[in-house]
Each structure stands twice: as C-alpha cells, then as structure tokens.
A = this chain, B = another copy of it.
C-alpha cells in the first residue's frame, strides 16, 4: 500500500484522480492539498460524501513530503514548476499533470505559455508519460510529465505510422474536437451553458499550445522533423475528445495492410483498441474509461489515410493516464484501478 497525495483537488483532474485512487487496491490517498481551496473534500465536491473524510489543506512541501510516496500535481500550468523541485529533492516521485515538463525547449515553453520556465534543471529528468510508447522510461522515472489531452489522442493515433513509415508521410492535419471539461473549471462566459449548449466552434485555430507538444513527440518517434496542422473545436458535451487525423501519403497503402499494421503495433496494449475496418470510435464508448479507440479508413486511391482517435480527456487524457503511469512506476498491474 503506497501513500499518494493530490495537489489541486478543486479542479476537474484532481476530482477524477481522487475518484480513481479511492478504488485502487494498492494506494491510500493520504494527502489532499490546494493552493487556495481548503476544507472537507466532500464540501468541495459533494459527490464524495460518504466516500471519503479527507480534508484539503493548504499545500506545503513539508506536508507533502511527510505524507506521501507519490505526489500528483493537478495544478494549473506554470504552478507545477514551482512545486516539483522540492519534492524531487526529498526523494519523492512526482506525476505532473500540467504542461510544465512536457516541452523540452524552454524557448518553446515561453513562446506558448508566455512565461519563463522556472525549473529548467529538472526538465531533462522528466519522462513523457505515455506508457504505450515510453513504458520503460516511465518505469524508472522520478518525474513524469503527464501528456496533454489532445497530444495523447494525436500521438497514439499517429505513432504506428510515424514510427514505421515516417518517410511516406506528406502532410499531417489534425481536426480535434473536445468536450468542455478540457478547458478546466474556469468561470468564463464562453464556458457558460448558454454559450456552449447546442453550439459548436473552432478556437485557437492553428494556434493551440498543444501543437508543439504533438510536434515534439512525433518528431522523436519519427526521428525526423514532423509538423502538424492542428485545429481544435469545442463540443457541447462534458468530456471526450475525438480527433480526425488526415495523413497524406507519398505512396499508396491498402486499408487491410494499414489495419493489420496498427493492430500489431498495439497488440499487447490493453488501453488502445484498434477497431475493425468499417467501425468508427464514438465518444460514448470511451467516456469515463482509460481507453483510446482508434478507427482507420483509406481513400480509394490509397493516398489519404483517415485515423480517428478518441479518448476521455479527463481519464486517458489526464488522470487515468496519471494513475497508469503510477502503476508502471510502482510495479502495480498496469490496469489496476482503471478497468
């Protein structure tokens, strides 16, 4: 039984983390903290009444170090980087759900998050927590940079193609759609029911901060420079992401070959489900789960591949994947708490 701490319980990721960890047979949640919110967790989130007596306290390094073997940081971007170093120095393992340790170049971080990186020394220690692709590194990691929601769906959807046939790729276009919870628990007019319900729109067109994260890891997998066109949209639903990925090829491919190739690539992965040709992922099949469902189609001329990739942004795209990483880091069964 390991002791886990959650920092940032008042956000959606913190809430989902707690929900998963309360069901996990190998973990006890021993510490819940936030920077501003305090008080009983079931007052912050009434759904936890009769499930936990935990009390959220103001975050202190000493408190976290004393109570935890592993600390999940479910903090806003730019706050994690002020928190990580002390925890690592105290020998703790850290899983950071923010964007702070995902980009390897501080210049890129500054460009997209508009602040200087405050903890560049620990950047190189951070392992990108996509277990399906980087499991061995995660196993040994002391600091995991838990992937962004859009990048998780994009990279899992593209990894087979990009890893094996990078030279055949002519262009990559990702049309991404996300439920509202992806924006976090912000009180903003654009997130009000009256402005989201029965609506749909693109936002941050060609200008979303997850783009460099996708580019970085695809380039890593491809061993060459990869750049995607990325346009996100806001779905009038609570959770779930579906990305429609257009891969233009230089030489043609047959759909059955593509399918076998994807299926083989993810053969041993419980959480990535490559659907039969003719089947398409639906958000309802993956919502509240840690699965990533992948659909495949090829144009008649064999030159355009359409990959559809669906995850729950709060589970496989955040807290579920964080627990999956913890399972790998601490030797639990990888699916524990997640199936």
Which A residues are closer than 8 A to B by beta carbons?
A: 12, 22-23, 46-47, 49-51, 171, 173, 175, 177, 180-181, 185, 187-189, 191-203, 205-206, 229, 231, 233, 235-238, 240, 242, 244, 246, 248, 270-271, 273, 275, 279-289, 291, 293, 295, 297-300, 304, 306, 308, 339
Contacts A/B (CB < 8 Å), 15 sampled: A22-B339, A23-B23, A23-B339, A46-B279, A46-B285, A181-B194, A187-B187, A191-B193, A193-B236, A197-B236, A198-B283, A200-B283, A206-B297, A233-B242, A235-B236
Q: Cα distance A244–B196 when bound, in Å?
A: 18
Q: Cα distance A246–B247 when bound, in Å?
A: 13
> In the complex, are the beta carbons of B308 and A197 less than 8 A apart?
no
- Determine the residue in chain B with the shortest Cβ distance to A288: B288
- Determine the residue in chain B with the shortest Cβ distance to A289: B47
> In the complex, are the beta carbons of A180 and B194 less than 8 A apart?
yes
Which residue of B12, B236, B242 contacts A202 across the interface (Cβ within 8 Å)?
B242
> In the complex, are the beta carbons of B242 and A12 less than 8 A apart?
no
> In the complex, are the beta carbons of A177 and B177 less than 8 A apart?
yes
- Determine the residue in chain B with the shortest Cβ distance to A185: B194
Given the complex, which residues of B lie within 8 Å of A203, measured CB to CB?
Answer: 280
Given the complex, which residues of B lie within 8 Å of A271, measured CB to CB?
Answer: 50
Instruction: Determine how close the nearest CB of chain B comes to the CB of A264; give it in whole angstroms.
Output: 16
> In the complex, are the beta carbons of B248 and A291 less than 8 A apart?
no
Given the complex, which residues of B lie within 8 Å of A202, measured CB to CB?
Answer: 242, 244, 280-281, 295, 306, 308
Q: Cα distance A23–B293 when bound, in Å?
A: 21
> In the complex, are the beta carbons of B308 and A270 less than 8 A apart?
no
> In the complex, are the beta carbons of B246 and A285 less than 8 A apart?
no
Q: Cα distance A301–B339 when bound, in Å?
A: 44
Q: Cα distance A193–B188 when bound, in Å?
A: 10
Q: Cα distance A322–B22 when bound, in Å?
A: 22
> In the complex, are the beta carbons of A206 and B23 less than 8 A apart?
no
Given the complex, which residues of B lie within 8 Å of A180, measured CB to CB?
Answer: 193-194, 197
Q: Cα distance A282–B199 when bound, in Å?
A: 7
> In the complex, are the beta carbons of A201 and B283 less than 8 A apart?
yes
Given the complex, which residues of B lie within 8 Å of A284, measured CB to CB?
Answer: 47, 195, 198-199
Instruction: Determine how close the nearest CB of chain B comes to the CB of A222; give it in whole angstroms.
Output: 19
- Determine the residue in chain B with the shortest Cβ distance to A207: B297
Given the complex, which residues of B lie within 8 Å of A194, measured CB to CB?
Answer: 12, 180-181, 185, 191, 238
Most buried by B among A188, A202, A293: A202
Instruction: Determine how close the nearest CB of chain B comes to the CB of A284; give it in whole angstroms.
Output: 4
Q: Which 8 A-B pairs have the closest CB atoms?
A: A175-B175, A193-B196, A201-B282, A199-B284, A205-B297, A47-B285, A193-B193, A180-B193
